[in-house]
Amino acid sequence: MSLEQVIQLEKVNKWYDDFHVLKDIDLSVGKGQRIVICGPSGSGKSTMIRCINRLEAHQEGKIVVHGTELTNDLKNIDLIRKNVGMVFQQFNLFPHLSVLDNISLAPIWVKKMPKKEAEEIAMTYLEKVKIPEQAEKFPGQLSGGQQQRVAIARSLAMNPDIMLFDEPTSALDPEMIKEVLDVMVQLAEEGMTMLVVTHEMGFAKTVADQMIFMDEGRIIEQATPDEFFNDPKSDRTKLFLSQILNH
Amino acid sequence: MIITNSNLKIHNYYKWLQRNLFSSWINSFLTIIALIFLYKVGTFFLNWTFFEADFRYNFQGDLITDRILCSKNIVPGEYGACWAIIFVRWDQFIYGFYPTEELWRVNLTFALLPLAIVGVLFDKIPFRKYFIYFTFIFPFFAYYMLYGGPGFTVVDTNKWGGLLVTLFLGVTGIALAFPLSVFLALGRRSKMPIIKSICIMFIEFIRGVPLITLLFTANVMLPLFLPDGVSPDNLLRALVAVTLFQSAYMAEAIRGGLQAIPKGQLEAAQSLGLGYWQTNRKIILPQALKIAIPPIVNTCIGLFKDTSLVLIIGLFDLLGIGRAALADMTWTKLYYEVYVFISIVFFIFCFGMSRYSLYLEKKLKTDNS
């Protein structure tokens, strides 16, 4: 591959006390790649992407983002978090702040941007996720789908190069999933590097250029969507796909 | 039959009585007993406090200047309270031994105190920003006014007393304890082991010791930690003890609020690149403090009442002044009047705080829905 490598994981291991969550994870993500990660619950997929912006610390191995290795050095962690956006299953919007303040907070406090400029940027991203009219509302007044779109706008306002999505549609009512996926597809089309943990296989087929299947803390299979869906190599993947596609 | 609105109301009222107070024979019996009891106690109290009481003059129309002039001491068994002691010693109850010609300074401070607090208590008042500015200026202003300085005579704190000392210790103690308690609560949840254990030890030690012990300790030990010749005055010593005591309790109330904030809030803030202090200041504390306000107010009520313990280290707070008044041969034995008066004053402040706490609980419920 001639792509510039933006994320590299080498022999990453992680334990929760005695429980071995990540086992010898090797992964390399090129600039602009869209990687969809799936697998049964408890397989370590969320933990893996949460290690990439150090919401969780790994104990062994090496994680390098944009040439900066993640260690206990707080400077490196800050540097990486500024360039890596994250969207959570539970949205995690700040309920005491308006939508506009939710989005402009980090640009103002982390990037030291003037308030006015930050709010203009916030409005741009709200338009991008198609809810500029909700700017003055509070998160509690929005639907789940709207909240998740605000959460995406909030991450994008920091102008990250990489976006991590941790089951962004799992907490949504079915009729709201599409509005969130549409925003994500649009983002993919614009060339954003994305790591997405999801069970939305339709989305995976449309945007992914790599599929990863994880089970019991290991990467079992990594392939292009075409191979992955039509000709999976491992039995575990086949079983998982049959369960998830026929439910 | 035509049922008019007022008929309906009376009907509903009657229904309510029947359902809640007279639903069965036992219930009716208890209701009647309770009513008789309330009537007896209520009439006794009202007669004693108002209808049969002396205020400034006795039943013969003489100005009461001595307890022997109280109507109840002239005709035993016929009359109620003798409030003259409160009137005669009013200035002492409110200001202690503060010089009479300087009392306006205390009055001005008292008058401005509500303005300093209102911005903190209510978030939807007009010009709140300016009230908050005033809140920060007020302590310096109050110090200058009460203690004195350039242009004003210095009034030493051993002349302070009564409600002034009670309010000073209560308000200043709470105001100083608040920032301290925020750091203690954050420290107790810190990942840094040394800071964490210092905070835990401090909180647990203070909570494990009665306030009286702390007051004695501050009184005796504080001078030991200071250079020779520097002797902080008694009021300051009491203030240190009260502040430390309050900060430990408040810290636990705030910790409760911090624990109620979902972990996702912290993670979202971190993933956006916000640092530890930014995350706490902008995301975690605003939410946690809101939840913690009712328990915080609870600890404030407790502290406000506990300030009366300072009388044992020789300060004349409201209770101390009351006891001093009773020690005066002219007024001795008017215990009920003095203690009832002091109770009423404490009750007014504590009830106010309690109502405020209830108001907040209601407000929080509607805010979060």
Token match 């989305």: residue?
A203
- What's residue A64's pLDDT? 94
Q: Is residue B146 part of a domain?
A: no
Does A123 have pLDDT greater than 80?
A: yes
* The token pair that represents B12 in the structure block: 């509903």
- What's residue B232's pLDDT? 74
Please tell me whether residues B36 and B164 are part of one structural domain: no
Which structural domain range is residue B11 located in?
Answer: 1-51
The residue-averaged pLDDT of B119-125 equals 88
- What's residue B343's pLDDT? 95
Closest partner residue to B271 (CB to CB) among A53, A96, A109 is A53
Instruction: Say what the pTM is.
Output: 0.86
The contacts of residue B292 (CB under 8 Å, 6+ apart) are: B253, B254, B256, B257, B258
- pLDDT band (50, 70, 90) for residue B205: very high
* The token pair that represents B364 in the structure block: 């929080």
- What's residue B228's pLDDT? 73
Does B136 have pLDDT greater than 70?
A: yes
Please tell me whether residues B43 and B162 are part of one structural domain: no
What are B263-304's pLDDT values in tens digits? 999 999 999 999 999 999 999 999 999 889 889 999 999 999
Does A1 have pLDDT greater than 60?
A: no
The better pLDDT of the pair B369, A81 is held by: A81
The contacts of residue A195 (CB under 8 Å, 6+ apart) are: A7, A29, A35, A37, A49, A52, A162, A163, A164, A165
Q: B282, A81: Cβ pair inside 8 Å?
A: no
Q: B287, A53: Cβ pair inside 8 Å?
A: no
Please tell me whether residues B29 and B162 are part of one structural domain: no
Q: Is residue B316 part of a domain?
A: yes
- Contact list in B for residue A82 (CB cut-off 8 A) is 273
Query: Within 10 A of A206 (CB to CB), how many other CB atoms are there?
Result: 16
Does B21 have pLDDT greater than 90?
A: no
Number of domains in chain B: 2
Q: How far is B363 from chain A (nearest CA, A)?
A: 14
Which residue of chain A comes nearest to B264, CA vs CA? A92
Does B67 have pLDDT greater than 90?
A: no
Q: Is residue B127 part of a domain?
A: no
- Contact list in B for residue A47 (CB cut-off 8 A) is none
What are A170-223's pLDDT values in tens digits? 999 989 999 999 999 999 999 999 999 999 999 999 899 999 999 999 999 999
Closest partner residue to A78 (CB to CB) among B268, B273, B368 is B273
At B4 the three-state DSSP class reads coil
Q: Is A67 left (phi over 0), alpha (psi -120 to 50) or beta?
A: left
What are B156-202's pLDDT values in tens digits? 998 999 999 999 999 999 999 999 999 999 999 999 999 999 999 99
Please tell me whether residues B166 and B44 are part of one structural domain: no
Beta pairing partners, A165 = A87, A196
Does A143 have pLDDT greater than 90?
A: yes
Q: In this structure, what CATH number is given to the domain that contains residue B363?
A: 1.10.3720.10
Q: Is residue B75 part of a domain?
A: no
Q: Is residue B263 part of a domain?
A: yes
Does B369 have pLDDT greater than 50?
A: no
Does A35 have pLDDT greater than 90?
A: yes
Please tell me whether residues B45 and B160 are part of one structural domain: no
- Do the beta carbons of residue A103 and residue A129 sit within 8 Å? no
Which residue of chain A comes nearest to B284, CA vs CA? A94
Which residue of chain B comes nearest to A82, CA vs CA? B273
Q: How far is A243 from chain B (nearest CA, A)?
A: 30
Please tell me whether residues B353 and B206 are part of one structural domain: yes
Q: Is residue B266 part of a domain?
A: yes
Is any Cβ of chain B less than 8 angstroms from the Cβ of A53?
yes
The residue-averaged pLDDT of B107-122 equals 93
At B134 the three-state DSSP class reads helix
Q: B274, A106: Cβ pair inside 8 Å?
A: yes
Please tell me whether residues B19 and B161 are part of one structural domain: no
- What's residue A2's pLDDT? 54
Q: How far is B362 from chain A (nearest CA, A)?
A: 17
Q: Is residue B204 part of a domain?
A: yes
Task: Give the DSSP H or E segment for B322.
Answer: helix B318-327
- What's residue A117's pLDDT? 96
Does B210 have pLDDT greater than 80?
A: yes
Please tell me whether residues B314 and B168 are part of one structural domain: yes
The contacts of residue B206 (CB under 8 Å, 6+ apart) are: B214, B244, B245, B247, B248
- pLDDT band (50, 70, 90) for residue B366: low
Please tell me whether residues B37 and B169 are part of one structural domain: no
Please tell me whether residues B184 and B331 are part of one structural domain: yes
Q: Is residue B203 part of a domain?
A: yes
Does B104 have pLDDT greater than 70?
A: yes
* The token pair that represents B151 in the structure block: 């242009």
Does B368 have pLDDT greater than 70?
A: no
Question: What ipTM was assigned to the predicted interfaces of this complex?
Answer: 0.93
Q: How big is chain B, counted in residues? A: 369
Chain B residues within 8 Å of chain A (Cβ atoms): 262, 264-265, 267-275, 278, 282-283, 286-287, 290, 368-369
